[in-house]
Structure 1
C-alpha cells in the first residue's frame, strides 16, 4: 500500500486529536518537571544527585525532546507538503512559527540567566553569541526549523513515500547522529548539530503517521514495546551504577530508546482529557514555562520555603497552569500572538497548535 493510500484518513481529521494532544501533555509534564528539578545539584530546586527527583529527571532524558519531535513529525505526516511550488510559503509559516519566538525568547532567557540568581544553566556565552549558538531550551526551535526545511524539501520530491526508504533514512541519520561529536561547539552553530539529533525522531513520527503505525500488527507493537522496555532497563542499570551509564541522548542506546519508546507510547493510544488540555497549549508552554518556574521558585525562597516537595509541586503546577494563563493573555492581542509564533490575525479563542 502506498503512503498516499494509508494517510488519507488521518489527513482529513480535525486539527485536534486527543491521542496526540495527550502525548503532548505528557511531553510537557516531562519537560517542565525537568526544568523544575534542574540539570544538576546546583540548579533548579537543588536536589541531591542520589535523590528520587534526580532519578526521575535522568530516567526520561532519552524521551523528553524526542517525543516533542516525533509528535511534530507525526502531525506533519497528516498534512505533508507535496507541491514544490508551495515550499516557500510552507517555510514562511514555519519561520513565523519557530524563528520569531526564537528571536524573542532567546534574548529574554539570556537576560534572565544573567540577572536572576540561581537561574538554571546560567549561560557562559557572550550576548552576541546567544542567537548564534542558542540557549536552552530554545535550541529546539531553530533546530526544528532546519528539520522542516530539509525533510519538507525532500518530501516534495516523493522520496519518502516508500516505507523501506524512510526506515533506511531513520537508521542512517541515527547512526550519523551517533558518530558526530555531541559536545563540539562548532557543530552547534545555529543548532545544526541539534537538527541532526531531532531528524531521527521527526522521521519516526512521519513514518508512524504516513504508514499508519496505529494499524500495525499487534506483534510488531509488542516487539517494539518489549525492546523499548529492555533499553529502558539498560539505562536504569546505568543510572544505578551496575553498568556504564548512557550519558548522552545521542548514544546508540539513547537514540534507539527514543525511537522505540516514542513508538511504544503511540501504540498505547492514550486518551486523557486533562493531559490533552495541557497538550493543546504545548507550544506556548514550551516558550514561557522557564520564566514561570524561575519566578515561582524565587518567590517561594524569598518567603522562606525550602521544602523540596513544596518547591517541586509548586514549580510543576505553576509551570503548567501559569504558562497557560500567560498564553491566554498574550493571545488576546496581536503582538502577543506574534511572539508566540501565531498569526497576528488569528482569533484568540483558537487553541494553540503544537510545533
Structure 2
C-alpha cells in the first residue's frame, strides 16, 4: 500500500517523538530529585499532563506495526520465538544490568536468585511496558489465528471490549504487568484498527481532522484542570482514554517526517531499555561536580534546566551509542537489544540506520 501513513521514515519520526517524551519524563523526575521539591511543578507538568500520550503513543505504534506484519498461517511457533527474543530476553538482561549497576554505584538493591525470580514475575521499574506488550501480542495474535477470515471485524470488537476492561479491577493485577496490559490494550488495538481500516479512514480523515484536534485540545484542558485541582490523576478515567486514543491517532496519521526524529526513532527500543541508566549517570555526574565545587562557593546551586538538558542528551544518545557499539564490535551481544546480529555486522563502518 502506497499510503503515506505507512511511510517508514514518518513512523520512525513518531517513534522519535515518543522517545523524547519518555526520556523527558525521567529526566525531569531525576532533576527534581537532585535539585529539590521547589521545582515539583515540572514533575507535575511532564509526568502527569503528558501521561495520556507518552506510553499510549508507544502502544499505538506497536499495534500499527503489528498489523503491517501480522502473524501468518502456520507461523505460531516462529512468532512466539521472535517475540521472546525481541521482548523477554532484553527485559531480563536489562533488568539484571540495571540492578548490578545500582549496586556498583551504591544504591543497594537485592540481586539474590530469589529476588531475580521475583523481577521475572512482577514488573521492574520502567520495563513493565515490555511484559504488558508481550501479553497483548500473544492475545491479539491468538484472535487473529482463530478469526483469520474476519480479522478486520475481530479487531474492532477487541478494541471495544478492551475499552470496557480499561475501567475494570483487572487493572490492579501486578503479576507480569497484566494490569498494565489492560491499560495499554485500547491504544494497541487502536493502532491495529487504524492499519486494517486505513483506506476508509484516509478517505474521511480530512473532514474530521479539525474536530479531532478541537476534541484533543478540549480534553487536554479538562485533564490539565483536573490535574491542577487535585494534584494527581488516576489513569483510569474516560477523559484520559479518549484523549490518548485521539491524540495518538492524530500523531500517527498526520505527524510530519523529521530527519532528526527519524534518526532517533530507529533506535527507539534501545533508548527505551537503557535511557534510565544514562539519566541516572547525568544525575550522579551533577552531584559529584556540585560536591567538588560547593566548598569553593557556598551558594553554588544546580541549575535544573542544565541538568535536564544533560539528562536528555545522555538519555537519548547514550543508548544509541550502546546499540552502535554492539552492531559494530559485538554483534554476538545483539540479544540485549532484542536482535539477532550476524558477524558480518563487524565489517561496515559506523553509520546511522534508516530504519
Q: 2:308 aligns with which of 312, 317, 327?
A: 312
The CA deviation string for residues 10-34 of structure 1, in whole angstroms up to 9 with x for no partner, is 69x7xx7111111100000000011
Distance 1:251 1:115 in 2: 41
RMSD over equivalenced CA pairs, Å: 3.0
Partner of 1:31: 22
- Give runs of aligned pairs for residues 196-275 of structure 1, distance below 5 A: 196-212=182-198, 213-241=201-229, 244=230, 247-275=233-261
Partner of 1:301: 287
SS at match of 2:341: coil
- Give runs of aligned pairs for residues 9-28 of structure 1, distance below 5 A: 9=2, 17-28=8-19
Matched, 1:166 2:155: yes
Question: 1:335 Cα shift?
Answer: 3.1
Kept in 2, the 8 Å contact 1:22–1:270? The answer is: yes
Distance 1:307 1:253 in 2: 35
Distance 2:265 2:15 in 1: 4
Matched, 1:96 2:82: no
Using the size of structure 2 for normalisation, the TM-score is 0.84
Question: 1:47 Cα shift?
Answer: 5.0
The farther-off stretch of 144-153 and 163-172 is 163-172
Question: 1:352 Cα shift?
Answer: 7.2
SS at match of 1:342: coil
Partner of 2:264: 278
Kept in 1, the 8 Å contact 2:48–2:232? The answer is: no
Kept in 1, the 8 Å contact 2:132–2:181? The answer is: yes
The farther-off stretch of 126-135 and 279-288 is 126-135
Matched, 1:139 2:128: yes
Structure with the bigger percentage of helix: 2
The CA deviation string for residues 51-75 of structure 1, in whole angstroms up to 9 with x for no partner, is 3453133211111111001001111
Q: Greater CA radius of gyration, 1 or 2?
A: 2
Matched, 1:329 2:325: yes
Distance 1:65 1:321 in 2: 20
The farther-off stretch of 67-76 and 331-340 is 331-340
Partner of 1:3: none
Partner of 2:293: none
Partner of 1:191: 177
SS at match of 1:97: helix
Distance 1:153 1:346 in 2: 34
Distance 2:354 2:90 in 1: 14
The farther-off stretch of 169-178 and 197-206 is 169-178
Partner of 1:58: 48
SS at match of 2:78: helix
Question: 1:345 Cα shift?
Answer: 2.2
SS at match of 1:38: helix
Distance 1:235 1:137 in 2: 23
Distance 1:9 1:158 in 2: 27
Distance 1:259 1:141 in 2: 20
Distance 2:106 2:354 in 1: 33
Name the count of aligned residue pairs.
335
SS at match of 1:137: helix
Partner of 2:140: 151
Q: 1:109 aligns with which of 79, 98, 120?
A: 98
Partner of 1:87: 76
The CA deviation string for residues 260-285 of structure 1, in whole angstroms up to 9 with x for no partner, is 11012123231111011100100111
Distance verdict in 2 for CA 1:353–1:190, change over 3 Å = farther
